[in-house]
Amino acid sequence: MPFKKADPQQKYLKMGIYGPPGSGKTFTTLQYAERLAKVSGGRVAFVDTERGTDFYVHEEKARQVHPEAFDFDAIYTRSLAETYVELAGDPDNGLKGIDFKKHTVIVIDSISHLWDAAISAYEGKMNSNDSIPMNAWSKIKKPYKALIQFLMDSPAHVFILGRQKNVFDNSVEGELKKVGVAMKAEGETAYEPHICCRMEARQSEKDSTITNYYALFEKDRTGVLSGRTFPNPNADLIDLVLPCLRGSKQAQSPDLDDVADQDSVLFEKEEAKRLDKEAKSKDDLAVFTAEINSAKNLEALAKVAEKIKKRKRYMLASHIASLEIIYKSSHGALANQVAKGDI
């Protein structure tokens, strides 16, 4: 496919939000989603894995921020399969999935539970330390990545909420040391959306009865929010990025199976090259072994060594190593004959 002039195709906002419990993820996202639903003239479809929205669907006058009830549609599940079918549908069983004319905003809260569901679904053989084998992870990730790709490609604004986890690394002393935090999900999840925000709750230094909530934007492809921190964020924040969504349609990711097919062709070519090199190297090994063994003197052996040098870069390291052993053995034997005066 030739290069062509860039054609921006980002019509809908895709945002990842994570943080510890009580950091304001759900409440803040509901405000964002409500604003986007109003702007786009649709409704919010909320996948609730932890019943975190129960207290926001009715009016609460004591709630200082947004005392009015939030209005949205929800499903309550921790099943990755059910979530995917409800959103993407299942044509084989006559299920249509979400109606984007009705629902223009999708919220997943929390993606951490759906990732746990993907892992729990694995029923294969485990390692001796009760961990999942490395070669099984691609199969585990496939349905999860299919959901993420659907969300990124969908003609709807999307919020992916996740819990926070600590990230550890081995210190110089060999002990585990906390080096940061991340979204508790498959490792690439937080990087898929346009924007990634970490939420924090901090007690006010002036009044311990007041808690302030902060949105720290760790990544923002629009460049509008990147690196900025907003105290007590609300729906007005969405207005800052809406002008960046200028695409006439939502950009689509290449089909994962098609990509795999294309890459498999490249792999097959490389594998064919490897096998061809291995076969030619094996032939060289046989020829040079015979020539080394048939050398009658050190001069003849040296000529074989020159031939090997010219072919060395085309041969496998293991075959070169074998020739070195054979050559040293033959050289030693011929040198002993010279010393004894036999030749």
Mean pLDDT is lowest, of 247-256, 274-283, 293-302, for 247-256
Asked whether the beta carbons of 48 and 76 are under 8 A apart, the reply is yes
Q: Please write the tens of the pLDDT for every residue from 233-250.
A: 999 999 999 999 888 788
Which of 57, 164, 50 has its CA nearest to residue 110?
Answer: 50
b/e sequence 178-199, b meaning 16+ C-beta within 10 Å: eeebbbbbbeebbebbbbbbbb
Mean pLDDT is lowest, of 37-41, 108-112, 130-134, 237-241, for 130-134
- Other Cβ atoms within 10 Å of 223 Cβ, number: 9
The whole-number average pLDDT for the span 95-114 is: 95
121 token code pair: 């679904």
Between the alpha carbon of residue 72 and those of residues 1, 233, 245, 249, 306, the distances in Å are 42, 20, 23, 24, 79
Residues forming CATH 3.40.50.300 domain(s) in the chain: 14-253
Which of 11, 24, 15 has its CA nearest to residue 211?
Answer: 24
Which of 96, 139, 97, 91 has its CA nearest to residue 119?
Answer: 139
The whole-number average pLDDT for the span 84-94 is: 92
In whole angstroms, give the CA distance from residue 265 to residue 271.
10
Q: What is the pLDDT of residue 15?
A: 97
The CATH code of domain 14-253 reads 3.40.50.300
The residues facing 183 across adjacent strands are 164
Q: State the pLDDT confidence band at 287, using cuts at 50, 70 and 90.
A: very high
pLDDT at residue 272 above 70? yes
Between the alpha carbon of residue 220 and those of residues 13, 225, 333, the distances in Å are 11, 6, 70
pLDDT at residue 333 above 90? no
Q: Please write the tens of the pLDDT for every residue from 183-217.
A: 999 999 999 999 999 999 998 888 887 899 999 99
pLDDT at residue 2 above 80? yes
pLDDT at residue 171 above 70? no
Q: State the pLDDT confidence band at 256, using cuts at 50, 70 and 90.
A: low
E strands present in the chain? 14-19, 43-48, 73-76, 103-109, 157-170, 176-183, 195-203, 211-220, 229-231
Q: What is the mean pLDDT of the chain?
A: 91
Q: Which residue has the higher pLDDT, 340 or 244?
A: 244
In whole angstroms, give the CA distance from residue 12 to residue 103.
13
Q: State the pLDDT confidence band at 294, using cuts at 50, 70 and 90.
A: very high
Asked whether the beta carbons of 100 and 156 are under 8 A apart, the reply is yes
Any alpha helices (H) in 295-343, and if so which ranges?
298-311, 317-340
* Beta-carbon contacts of residue 91 (< 8 Å; ≥ 6 apart): none
The residues facing 216 across adjacent strands are 198, 229
Between the alpha carbon of residue 58 and those of residues 22, 47, 54, 154, the distances in Å are 20, 18, 8, 29
Asked whether the beta carbons of 35 and 238 are under 8 A apart, the reply is yes
Q: How many helical (H) and strand (E) elements, i.e. helices and strands, does the chain have?
A: 8, 9
Q: What is the pLDDT of residue 210?
A: 85
In whole angstroms, give the CA distance from residue 295 to residue 304.
8
pLDDT at residue 262 above 80? no
Q: What is the pLDDT of residue 280?
A: 93
Exposed, middle or buried by CB within 10 Å (0-12, 13-18, 19+), for 101? Answer: exposed
